[in-house]
Amino acid sequence: MSEEYIFGWHAVEAVLKREPERLQQVWIQTGREDRRVKTVTDTLSELGVRWQVVHRKELDQRVAGVHQGVVAAVSESREWSEDDLLAMLSGSEKPPFLLILDGVTDPHNLGACLRTADAVGVQAVVVPKDKSASLSPTVRKVACGAAETVPLVRVTNLARFMRTIRDDGVWLIGTAGEADSTLHQADFTGPVALVMGAEGKGMRRLTREHCDLLINIPMLGHVDSLNVSVATGVCLYEALRQRLA
């Protein structure tokens, strides 16, 4: 069975809580003896998962990033397919609430988007198979556990997927700086997918053409755009505000 590394306390605790069967081994930096560490190590011992206290240098050699003193080897998570997502949506009593990211290649941005998606109740984040960041240890670390709760669905043909869910009644709302409508004029209360483009280039032409509505985020300052993860957070929380109301 192939394995991958995750790091950071939130990411490791999320796997421990939701998918403990994936844990192969955990390494914890020497010098950590607080309650959080004891809770984790007690649980690992109960589950029969190997864990070991090591010097920071060994953790640094295993992963590239701020590991916070904990690294875990886990079996690879099963990647959701387009069919998996469509089956989940058809069997859900809740109206679809999706996030589509077109061309977001920075792992920090993808991780931040997953974290916000989890916070507002997004059912899945959809990305194209090409020109998108993968579910790397860095993404999992930035997502603070959300990578283990929000399915990341990679689709071969994003435009075709958008057509499919639109035919099923999902309203596709895309963001574009030149759009006439603003974020606050859009209706997010029903079955909806928010479509965000890559920072700088924005959405690709085909992606844009498959949107039902294009909106902009009102901006009063001198800069003309926001980081894609920040813009996603702004839009998703407006959607959540409407859906709660």
How does DSSP classify residue 79? P
Q: What average pLDDT score do residues 159-172 get?
A: 96
Whether 64 and 166 map to the same domain: the answer is no
Is 28 among the annotated ligand-binding positions? no
Same domain as 152, residue 62: no
Please check if 197 is assigned to a binding site: yes
Q: Is the pLDDT of residue 96 over 60?
A: yes
pLDDT of residue 2: 59
Q: What is the pTM of this model?
A: 0.83
What is the structure's pLDDT at 60? 92
209 and 91 share one domain: yes
Are residues 126 and 220 located together in one domain of the fold?
Answer: yes
215 has which bridge partners?
175, 181
Q: Helix, strand, or coil here: 189? A: coil
Tens digits of residue pLDDT in 97-118? 999 999 999 999 999 999 999 9
pLDDT of residue 137: 84
Note whether 155 and 126 are within 8 A (CB): yes
Question: What is the average per-residue pLDDT within 17-41?
Answer: 91
- pLDDT band (50, 70, 90) for residue 79: confident
Question: Residue 134's domain is classified under what CATH number?
Answer: 3.40.1280.10
Q: Is the pLDDT assigned to residue 1 strictly greater than 80?
A: no
Are residues 52 and 87 located together in one domain of the fold?
Answer: no
Residue 18 has pLDDT above 80, yes or no: yes
pLDDT at 29 (0 to 100): 95
Regarding whether 143 and 48 lie in a shared domain, the answer is no
**Residue 26 belongs to a domain with what CATH number?**
3.30.1330.30
What is the model's pLDDT at position 149? 87
Q: Which helix (H) or strand (E) holds 7?
A: strand 3-7
DSSP 8-state secondary structure symbol assigned to residue 136: -
Overall average pLDDT of the 21-36 stretch:
91
Same domain, 53 and 109: no
pLDDT given at position 216 = 94
The pLDDT, as a whole number, for residue 102 is 96
Q: pLDDT tens digits for 191-229?
A: 999 999 987 788 999 999 999 999 999 988 888 888 999
Residue at a domain's end among 75, 97, 116: 75
Residues 102 and 213 in one domain: yes
30, 51, 75 - which closes a domain: 75
**194 marked among binding-site residues:** no
Q: What is the pLDDT of residues 31-59, one digit of tens each?
A: 888 899 999 999 999 999 999 999 999 99
Mean pLDDT on 183-196: 97
Q: Please name the residues in contact with 72: beta carbons below 8 A apart, sequence gap of 6 or more.
A: 5, 6, 7, 11, 12, 15, 23, 24, 25, 26, 27
What contacts 117, CB < 8 A, 6 or more positions away?
99, 125, 146, 150, 232, 236
- Domain containing residue 227: 82-244
